């Protein structure tokens, strides 16, 4: 009889632990507003980098708000990424990015696009083929945790390789861009906001 009671107690405890784990995916970290790690989004950690201070503290453009939307929609709610969103729309990539599963996006800020001479940028925005090539070079077909950027060599959706390097929350992408706000989670992607636009190698 004692053995039966002990076994029943163990089973009840296991059910409570598993139930708590299942619920944790829906919980929010009250201190930061970022979603708690879950099995649906296996990448752990919190957003980092000096550029994170530009992300709204609340609303759809906040870290918590972005985590609930697919990546193109999430980016459209972040004022620092409005030029990128406009480019994605011009290239017709909104549905492609929103429907992709478990991707990583290196998202240039408005200031990053501002480094490109206006005449050159206008020309690129008017050329859908070139624009699509540049934008898909910013996307990798799997989620990448920050540690994976330390010495990374990835194949982008554009087809060309992209390397990353760094440590301790300071990472360089493609030899030209720096991560200013990393490990931002959306419903289907991990986003690293960067300070330069990446150009595919020829």
Domain boundaries, given as residue ranges, for the chain:
38-194
CA separation for the pair 147, 149 (Å, rounded): 5
2-35, pLDDT tens digit by residue? 443 333 333 333 333 333 333 333 333 433 344 3
For residues 47 and 184, the answer to whether their CB atoms sit within 8 Å is: yes
Read off the pLDDT band of 202 (50, 70, 90).
Answer: confident
pLDDT of amino acid 70 = 97
Write the class of the CATH domain 38-194.
Answer: mainly beta
Position 117 pLDDT exceeds 80? yes
CA separation for the pair 159, 146 (Å, rounded): 22
154-173, pLDDT tens digit by residue? 999 999 999 999 998 899 99
**Model-level pTM?**
0.78
């Amino acid at each position: 009889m004692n053995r039966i009671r002990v076994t029943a107690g163990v089973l009840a405890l296991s059910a409570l632990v598993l139930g708590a784990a299942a619920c944790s995916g829906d919980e929010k970290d009250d201190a930061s507003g970022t979603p708690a790690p879950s099995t649906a989004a296996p990448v752990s950690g919190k957003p980092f980098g000096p550029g994170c201070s530009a992300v709204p503290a609340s609303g759809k453009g906040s870290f918590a708000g972005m985590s609930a939307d697919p990546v193109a929609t999430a980016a459209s709610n972040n004022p620092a990424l409005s030029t990128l969103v406009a480019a994605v729309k011009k290239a017709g990539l909104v549905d492609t990015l929103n429907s992709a599963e478990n991707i990583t996006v290196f998202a240039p800020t408005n200031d990053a696009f501002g480094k490109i001479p206006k005449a050159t940028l206008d020309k690129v925005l008017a050329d859908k083929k070139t624009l699509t090539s540049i934008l898909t070079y910013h996307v990798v077909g799997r989620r990448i945790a920050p540690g994976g950027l330390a010495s990374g060599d990835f194949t982008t959706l554009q087809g060309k390789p992209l390397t990353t390097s760094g440590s301790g929350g300071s990472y360089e992408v493609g030899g030209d861009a720096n991560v200013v706000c990393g490990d931002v989670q959306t419903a289907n992607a991990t986003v690293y906001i960067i300070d330069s636009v990446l150009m595919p190698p020829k």
